[in-house]
Amino acid sequence: MSANGYRDYFKVLGVERSADADAIKRAFRKLAREFHPDVNPGDPSAEARFKEISEAYEVLSDPDKRRKYEQFGQYWSQMGGGSGRGPAGVDVDFGRYGNFDDFINDLLGRFGGPGGAAGGGGFSGAGAGFPGGFGSGFPSGGFPGGGRGAPVNLDAEATLQINYADAFRGCERSLAVNEEKVQVRIPPGVKPGSRLRLKGKGNLQPGTGRRGDLYLNLKLASHPVWRLDGDQLRAELPLSLDELALGGEVTVATPDGEASVQVPPGMTLGRSLRLKGKGWPLKEGRGDLLLTPVLKLPPNLSDRERELLQQLRQARSADPRQEWISAARL
């Protein structure tokens, strides 16, 4: 505070004068958690700082008060913007609240901000520093006399991406969770959207020892060949023109290695060959592998191939588009 009693509320919150409402709210949340008296017991300077940032947020979060403050500076309260209680105009009864998020949301509501807006659900950990660590570095907390408010959700959530090989065979990963190394076992056959629960590895509530669970949402990186469709594993099967027309035994890929399958003569594009028990690991056994033929022409035809195709064109007895053209007429 300056000698004349003027507070630069933008400096108090550490934001630019052009900061929008969301930036101001984020700054307030960060500082409120840092200087809350429950986090700094017996520190009068922390409590004074907390009241100062609360006062700054009360003014800057209200469009009318902020306009008057920016226009009139230290005399803004005399222009109808103040509460009449002087500069320290935020009364805080910390014992009223059951947990820290109740308190923050109540303040945001009192100051005209949406108390249930983003961030009001505690430190979920979703997308926060993973895989280097979860959470924000300050867990959801309780107040003295806690338990009188709504239950605190101490669970955390994060997304973990793995490749098809690890999802197919299962694997172990070492993760950093709230500065603690945790070994996670991923079972074989997990699918996109699978959710793993790590009991007791979520956020910690200070003063109570309570700790939530960590939920890992699994995401599979794309694969150049394989694609999961429910319980079935799918892939395209490249076939040459003669293989599609004449059929025969061909070598194909499976997750376990190579295998031989019989392609029927005149194989229609769009139909699939089913290899039972060669697909994705399920709770009981293995699913099926579906291979969908696609025509694979060589990038450069040899002279002999070109000659034979010319002969095929001359010998062809049917127009492949005749029925299609007839059916397309409107």
In the beta sheet, which residues pair with residue 196?
Answer: 216
What is the rounded average pLDDT for all residues in the chain?
78
- CA-CA distance, 306 to 259, in Å (whole number)? 31
pLDDT band at residue 140 using 50, 70 and 90 as cut-offs: very low
324's CB contacts (< 8 A; 6+ apart) are none
- Mean pLDDT check: name the lowest of 9-18, 23-32, 69-78, 241-250: 69-78
Q: What is the pLDDT of residue 141?
A: 39
HSE toward the beta carbon, residue 203, CA cutoff 13 A: 24
Which among 123, 110, 125, 108 has a CA at the least distance from the CA of 25? Answer: 108
Contact status, residue 290 vs residue 237, Cβ threshold 8 Å: no
CA distance 163 to 222: 8
pLDDT in tens, 56-86: 898 899 888 888 887 766 556 655 544 433 3
Q: Which positions ≥6 away from 233 have C-beta within 8 Å?
A: 226, 227, 255, 278, 279, 280, 287, 288, 289, 290
Residue 97 pLDDT greater than 60, yes or no: no
The more confident residue out of 216 and 1 is 216
Give the dihedral sign, CA 136/139/143/144. negative
Kindly give the interhelix angle for 100-110 and 21-35, rounded to the nearest 10 degrees.
Answer: 140
Distance, CA of 129 to CA of 110 (rounded, Å): 31
Query: Which of 106-120, 181-195, 255-269 is least confident?
Result: 106-120
pLDDT(114) > 70: no
Q: Rounded CA gap, 258 and 251, in Å?
A: 7
- By CB atoms closer than 10 A (0-12, 13-18, 19+), residue 167 is buried
Q: Say what the pLDDT of residue 5 is.
A: 55
Number of Cα atoms under 13 Å in the Cβ half of residue 298? 9
Q: Looking at 135-149, 172-186, 244-258, which range is the least confident one?
A: 135-149
Going by their DSSP bridges, the two strands 156-162 and 232-239 should be labelled as unpaired
pLDDT digits (tens, 9 = 90+) for 153-166: 888 888 889 999 99
DSSP for 15-29, please give it: --TT--HHHHHHHHH
- How many residues in the chain? 330
Between these two residues, 109 and 165, which has the higher pLDDT value?
165
Per-residue pLDDT, 44: 87
pLDDT tens profile 292-324: 999 998 889 899 999 999 999 999 888 888 888
The rounded distance, in Å, linking the Cα atoms of 315 and 303 is 18
Number of H helices, E strands in the chain: 9, 11
Provide the token pair at 265: 């003569």
Q: What is the residue type of 293?
A: P
Question: How far is Cα 158 from Cα 139, in angstroms, rounded to an integer?
Answer: 15
* Residue from 41, 35, 37 nearest 13 by CA: 35
The DSSP secondary structure of 166-219, one letter per residue, reads: HHHH-EEEEEEETTEEEEEEEPTT--TT-EEEETT-S-B-TTT--B--EEEEEE
What's the rounded mean pLDDT across residues 250-272? Answer: 92
Residue 79: the pLDDT is: 53
pLDDT at 89 exceeding the cut of 50: no
Binned at pLDDT 50, 70 and 90, residue 132 comes out as very low
- Minimal CA–CA distance to 168: which of 276, 260, 289, 282? 282
Q: What is the pTM of this model?
A: 0.51
Best-predicted range by mean pLDDT (36-40, 74-78, 148-152, 192-196): 192-196
**pLDDT at residue number 320:** 84
Which residue, 192, 98, 113, is CA-closest to 143?
Answer: 98
SS3 at position 73: helix
Where in the chain are the domains?
9-92, 227-328
Least confident stretch, 2-11, 36-45, 74-83, 107-116:
107-116
**CATH number for the domain whose boundaries are 9-92:** 1.10.287.110
Q: Can you give the pLDDT at residue 172?
A: 92
Q: Which of the pair, 232 or 117, is modelled with greater confidence?
A: 232
Q: Which CATH superfamily is domain 227-328 in?
A: Urease metallochaperone UreE, N-terminal domain (2.60.260.20)
